Amino acid sequence: MGKLSADVLDTMTELRSKMLVCLRLSTASVASQLNRIMPKAHSTEDLARLQFNVVSIGPDMDSLSPGAHLISPRRFYMHHGIYLGNGTIAHYSGFGSSFKAGPIEITNMQRFAHGKPVWRLEEPRRFSNDQVVNRARSRVGENQYKLLTNNCEHFCSWCINGQNHSAQINAYLHCPAHLLCLISALDPCLTA
């Protein structure tokens, strides 16, 4: 088989990334639907939060309004940030550059994307775009990152809806098979 052109490889990489986004988001949706039939009660507000749409953004960022919720795939999770305008994004840097948790910071699109595609997540909102930007800016410098209770997705959810929520964490916690897949992917020696 001959070498594939760079354009074909780029297209295949973008398609793979979009498929991973859909898989991760549908995993969270399936976990939520399973929870609905369990004894635990859910409010209609919780269910409304699950309605979303992922929109690809171009390199020129013309389609972005301040307050947009951005997501970008990483190896084992989706990274989240809030677009502040003028090419800047607020996000929890987490463990992005070291083993020490980092603060909520303002960065540019290139650093946020980390070489991956970036999409805008459209979802129901409690706050206007200006309020979302103000809420995000109010937490810049905060250094209280906790993977399970205060990560980049929790931060964005709080900015948009006033609630700390992570569909990814909920999916992992409510479906242990996903957590086992994550562990085996991190260290294949742990599984037989």
CATH number at residue 16: 3.90.1720.10
For 58-96, what is each residue's pLDDT tens digit?
666 677 899 999 998 887 788 999 999 999 999 998 765
pTM (predicted TM-score): 0.67
> Is residue 1, in this structure, part of any structural domain at all?
no
Average pLDDT over residues 97-110: 84
Residue 45 placed within a domain:
yes
* 111 assigned to some structural domain: yes
The verdict on residue 119 lying in a domain is yes
Count structural domains, the chain: 1
- Full residue range of the structural domain in which residue 128 is found: 6-190
pLDDT band for position 139 (cuts 50, 70, 90): very high
Contacts 24+ apart (CB under 8 A), 155-158: 155/80, 155/82, 155/90, 155/91, 155/92, 155/104, 156/69, 156/80, 156/81, 156/82
Q: Assess contact for 116 and 72: CB atoms under 8 A.
A: yes
